[in-house]
Structure 1
Amino acid sequence: MSDNYYNDRVEELAQQYLSLSFDDVHHNWAHHLPPILKKPSSTILDVGAGAGRDVSHIAEISAHYGNEGNNCRIYAAEPAIEMMKVGQETTRNQNVQWLQDPLPALEKTTRLEVSFDLILLSAVWMHVPPSQRARSMRKLANLLKPGGKIIISLKFGTTVEEQKKRQMYDVSVEELEHIAQNLGLFSKLEAQNEKDKLGRDGVHWQTLVLQMPDDGTGAFPFIRHVAINDGKAATHKLALLRVLLRIADGQPGAVLRRETSLHGDRVILPLGLVALYWIHQYKDLIDHYKLFQTPNKSPNMGFMKDGGWTKLNHRTSSDFRIGNLFIGEDAKSLHKTLSASAQNIRDMPSKYITLPNSDARVFEVAAKTVRPKDSLFLDLETLAQWGEFSLPESTWLALSRYACWIEPVLVNEWVKAMASYKGNQNDVGADKRAYMHNALQWLEPKRTTAEVRNRFESLKLNQTMQCVWSAKTLNRKYDIDHSMPFARWPNNDLWNLVPSNSKINNEKRDRLPTERKLVDARERMLQWWNMAWADDIDLGNELTCRRRFFAEANIALPGLSIDNISIDDLFEALLLQRARLKEMQQLNEW
């Protein structure tokens, strides 16, 4: 699309678009909207949203279904900045989030880590060059929920002048259906040869509805193939899949960027983070439970180096997490272990996990040499120094969306593999199988609020403290609450712990706060974050807490930059994470 054309003629074109109503243009498929809006939690994306006519209408009718248990999140992506400004004005005070974001990348939209029930492309597809259409549809399919729909209107009868000035291209139903079918989408022609509502001679429209029957990417069967069918000389392959699953499920902010390739878009992660989770996963399994991870009768694996792994015997899995600081010999030992783990990941599972019946590698590793230091703070910036780990975006999305189904398969296959190894033959009885399952439990952060309670007590000496949820003054009796319920999403980060009235916390329990409750608590939550952690503090230890606060938030919450220090952006990311948890786990709301 020629953004300059639309920016330069924004008043004329916006007036033209807004002269028609939503029903004028979209009556042929509008019957799909009510079932979506009636869902307890739904998400809708308008790509090429223009002057905001369509999203404004959707927001208006969604309000009729709105209540505390029914939230529809509406997003509008528009590449032309001046047109987007008109759209923002059209939807002022409505539940619409705008993004300046073009096809085929939709980079900002993808960074939200949100999947959609419905994606609308109204008068957009003819702007997509034929060479970019397969990638554009692949991107849109990756953004769909299972069962989600893409609505596309096709314009026929464009003039040579329009094609030149407005960068339009010929379209066809057959081409679009072919691209969609290759991605597992099925199509239905909702309207054929509809007259142009602006009365332009020779112009007519057709509307297609494309639907996703399942995950639509082939990623889920591939993951199952690696877990169950693929040959395994050790537990490396299962370990890598589980590491990636844990990052995708719990650390959506870990994505450094996305890139396009001949075989589809790819997600880029810090290699050091993959290596850190690798260590976390194997540490207690090998050191505490003494379980062999290869068929050989030797406990050692390639990443267990002298001066590295062997000098971290006093550490447990839970020490290897974002926000922790290692100093002195521990820092040097961890550096060596991270480097050895990164090399092991590159040379073993990444090298041998290939597409079925192919030599094409699924994962790519670009490792870097890092000079050891006597201080190692674990955040994304530090872990990115070890290089980058790349995986298909479709695999990343499948791991994120289906984590609760995939993980039991990985764990069961891992137990079967360990039970077959010579070094574990004495551990194969029924009770020993249970022992192995217990050994593979992912050691979550401890549910402790002592550190945050101490911070609260020190602040209370000089100022009045409030309950984040109710604004009630907190005196002697109060609780430290996990804003996102720990029982449902085990996260003990500083940003997730907030002061609460005890009675209110009892009422909330393990339920997910509604979006309305979070928005109502916004100013009090920002105030707490700011005075407890984010405000500029000169004291060394507290400055480390500030650094840790943002390090934890920037990886746990979607859409934040690697160096974010804005608590306003953090709160917007928290709203997104709330929506993700609601969608993926269908949690009860408070």
Structure 2
Amino acid sequence: MADYYSDNADALFERYNALDFEGVHADLLSSLPEVAGAALDVGAGAGRDALALAKRGWEVVAVEPAQRLRGLGEAFTQGYAVQWMDDRLPGLDAVRALSERFNLILVSAVWMHVPPMERERAMRVLSELLAPGGRLCITLRHGPGDSERAFHPVSRAEVEQLARQRALVDITPSGTGGTRPDCQGRDEVTWETVCLQLPDDGTGALPVLRHIIVNDQKSSTYKLGLLRVLTRIADGLPGMVIRRTDQYVTVPLGLVGLYWLRLYKPLVIDCQLPQTQGNTGYGFAKDPFYALRHLSAFDLCVGQAFDSHTGKLLLAAIRDACQNIRQMPVRYTTWPGSTDPLFIAEPATTRLRNVPVRLDRETLLRFGVFHIPSHIWDCASRYACWLEPAIINEWVDVMQGYELRYDDGPARGALRWQTPVRRTHLVRDLIESRLAVEPAPQCTWTATRLKANHYEVDHALPWVHWNNNDLWNLLPATRRANREKRDRLPAAGLLDDAHDRIVDWWASTYLNSRYRDQFIIEAEAALPMVEDASIPAAVFAGLQHQRRRLKQNQQIAEWVGLKPNSLASYRWP
């Protein structure tokens, strides 16, 4: 089907864009959310609808599988808040890998291409991509097909039935639920619009997690520890996902073990706070664990490198942690009312060798893989800032039950996630070295040349909202720009305008230097959908996705720059 749309892209581009959005979608205009947010245009075609939404203030992810038509649409929407992706129903695998939710999903002139046996899955996928209160608008084509494309019969009744199975509410305005004539004048073709809404979270993940956090019996803190580790990974390291299916998201088991060590080290070694009832000891805290007492939270991060001696000890500690995780929290963390485990750990035999170690994806995969239900992963990613305080509060209560001789101050202090300090000195040194040669680096946000003692290092995605010191996130800026940006996200248009300056900085400063491996490992771990971070354009696309995730999940204020009117290449909503 995509071949037809690519082969006839030029003619279809002219035909689709000859029609205006308001005329084609008159039935759904009153169903659009009043406040613009994140929109997904499935089967975006030539970009007409994506452009119209962007002009109304929406940030749009436009999905189109036909390569030639997608290219024309991307050029047509250039300069607007539209990001294009190659994906399709029923799976929308690439979109789901972003772990985003959308306030509006438009499926226009697409449903008749989805085979009937795949529609239940398509509706489930679409419903899981909706934000609470989000709206799904589907247009249905009635009438005969043609000799070049496969059209399947559609009906409003079928869509409504599938929607009820996913707890979606039909909000199609009265008076607009009937069929309407074809805008291209084809007498045998009519159209119908169905508008659906997700009234709440809709996935069932939050009740499951709340049950485990609050209601489950706990003889140790291990269940809470596992949930917190997975929440931290989902929030901070989406790029470490190995694969995703309808049922599970898979990450390296060694990554879970690494974060387990990072979480329990201050509790067990630094503060000696009991984590189980009685004096039974800890299955993961063996000699290698205690031998790592000199390592900091910064050391226990993806991308760090160690000599052969420390590396072997660390891998042994990770191995012990993975074994304990499988035997305890994975075994006893079950679906509510069931004995079926919520998570699945598949270990692999690991040989420890006396060689230098770098904590990259390959190394952490040597311990096996860990499977997390997809809707649990998405929930942890989207609601990490809400889930983690709930986990910590319950954790303190559990520890108080083990040991009554301290107040909760030490407990909360030890449970504070040990993030690396806000470090920019390396990038400052790199800027200084670049100032010594012509031309001087440019400010990321204003394009002005930097001057000695009048520049700062900016966290593109603000440190206060997302503790990330990765090289890709540290950008040169004038002192004025950095201080006016403060803790705000760069607006979509500002980021788009800075594209060339950002990728040039990455390429010249990191990818063509001794920091290449560090840059690649960090970017592939922290940013979604970055398979090859040696390609700056791929990293920039990941940065765009992560910016939008933070905006949606945390409602962070945006910064449009010092002089938004000077960004002539971007059409501001």
Shared topology, TM-score over 0.5? yes
Q: Is 1:250 the equivalent of 2:232?
A: no
Cα deviation 1:497-554 (Å, max 9, x = unaligned): 223333333333223232333333333333333333221x4xxxxx3x3211221122
Q: Is 1:426 the equivalent of 2:405?
A: yes
- Counting only pairs closer than 5 Å after superposition, residues 66-145 of structure 1 correspond to structure 2 as 72-145=58-131
User: Structure 2: how far apart are the matches of 1:479 and 1:3?
Assistant: 47
- Counting only pairs closer than 5 Å after superposition, residues 283-298 of structure 1 correspond to structure 2 as 283-298=265-280
Give 1:124 deviation, angstroms.
1.4
User: Structure 2: how far apart are the matches of 1:18 and 1:467?
Assistant: 38
Aligned partner of 1:343 in structure 2 is 323
Give 1:310 deviation, angstroms.
2.7
Give 1:304 deviation, angstroms.
1.8
Aligned partner of 1:446 in structure 2 is 421
Q: Is 1:271 the equivalent of 2:253?
A: yes
- Counting only pairs closer than 5 Å after superposition, residues 443-482 of structure 1 correspond to structure 2 as 443-463=418-438, 464-470=440-446, 471-482=448-459
- Contact 1:481/1:505 (CA < 8 Å) preserved in 2? yes
Cα deviation 1:267-296 (Å, max 9, x = unaligned): 121221111111110111110010111112
Give 1:210 deviation, angstroms.
1.0
| Match of residue 305, structure 1, among 277, 280, 286 | 286
- Contact 2:81/2:492 (CA < 8 Å) preserved in 1? no
- Judged with a 3 Å threshold, the aligned counterparts in structure 2 of structure 1 residues 28 and 296 are, in CA distance, closer, same or farther, namely same
Cα deviation 1:440-499 (Å, max 9, x = unaligned): 110111112222223333343444344333323321343223222212221122222223
- Judged with a 3 Å threshold, the aligned counterparts in structure 2 of structure 1 residues 509 and 417 are, in CA distance, closer, same or farther, namely same
SS of the equivalent of 1:75 reads: strand
Aligned partner of 1:540 in structure 2 is none
Unmatched runs of 5 consecutive residues or more in structure 1: 66-71, 538-542
User: Structure 1: how far apart are the matches of 2:437 and 2:24?
Assistant: 60
Aligned partner of 1:68 in structure 2 is none
SS of the equivalent of 1:381 reads: helix
| Match of residue 552, structure 1, among 508, 516, 522 | 522
| Match of residue 504, structure 1, among 458, 481, 488 | 481
Aligned partner of 2:376 in structure 1 is 395
Q: Is 1:384 the equivalent of 2:353?
A: no
Q: TM-score, normalised on structure 2?
A: 0.90
User: Structure 2: how far apart are the matches of 1:33 and 1:172?
Assistant: 22
User: Structure 1: how far apart are the matches of 2:17 and 2:296?
Assistant: 61
Unmatched runs of 5 consecutive residues or more in structure 2: 560-573
SS of the equivalent of 1:23 reads: helix
Aligned partner of 1:582 in structure 2 is 551
Aligned partner of 1:174 in structure 2 is 157
Give 1:93 deviation, angstroms.
5.0
Give 1:204 deviation, angstroms.
3.2
- Contact 1:284/1:316 (CA < 8 Å) preserved in 2? no
Cα deviation 1:15-54 (Å, max 9, x = unaligned): 55445432332101112347243xxxx2211111223332
Could you tell me which amino acid in structure 2 is paired with residue 473 of structure 1?
L
User: Structure 2: how far apart are the matches of 1:86 and 1:453?
Assistant: 41
- Contact 2:31/2:195 (CA < 8 Å) preserved in 1? no
Of 356-365 and 139-148, deviating more is 356-365
User: Structure 2: how far apart are the matches of 1:355 and 1:97?
Assistant: 37
Give the total of aligned pairs. 553
- The percent identity for this pair of structures is 42
User: Structure 2: how far apart are the matches of 1:222 and 1:84?
Assistant: 39
SS of the equivalent of 1:467 reads: coil
User: Structure 1: how far apart are the matches of 2:14 and 2:425?
Assistant: 58
Aligned partner of 2:567 in structure 1 is none
- Contact 2:113/2:152 (CA < 8 Å) preserved in 1? yes
- Judged with a 3 Å threshold, the aligned counterparts in structure 2 of structure 1 residues 499 and 259 are, in CA distance, closer, same or farther, namely same
- Judged with a 3 Å threshold, the aligned counterparts in structure 2 of structure 1 residues 177 and 251 are, in CA distance, closer, same or farther, namely same
- Counting only pairs closer than 5 Å after superposition, residues 5-84 of structure 1 correspond to structure 2 as 5-10=4-9, 13-14=12-13, 16-33=15-32, 35-37=34-36, 42-59=37-54, 61-62=55-56, 72-84=58-70
User: Structure 2: how far apart are the matches of 1:83 and 1:485?
Assistant: 36
Of 520-529 and 395-404, deviating more is 520-529
User: Structure 2: how far apart are the matches of 1:216 and 1:205?
Assistant: 29
SS of the equivalent of 1:530 reads: helix
Give 1:338 deviation, angstroms.
1.3
| Match of residue 281, structure 1, among 263, 267, 280 | 263
Give 1:11 deviation, angstroms.
5.3
- Judged with a 3 Å threshold, the aligned counterparts in structure 2 of structure 1 residues 4 and 500 are, in CA distance, closer, same or farther, namely closer
Give 1:406 deviation, angstroms.
1.1
Of 20-29 and 139-148, deviating more is 20-29
Give 1:325 deviation, angstroms.
0.6
SS of the equivalent of 1:35 reads: coil
Aligned partner of 1:406 in structure 2 is 387
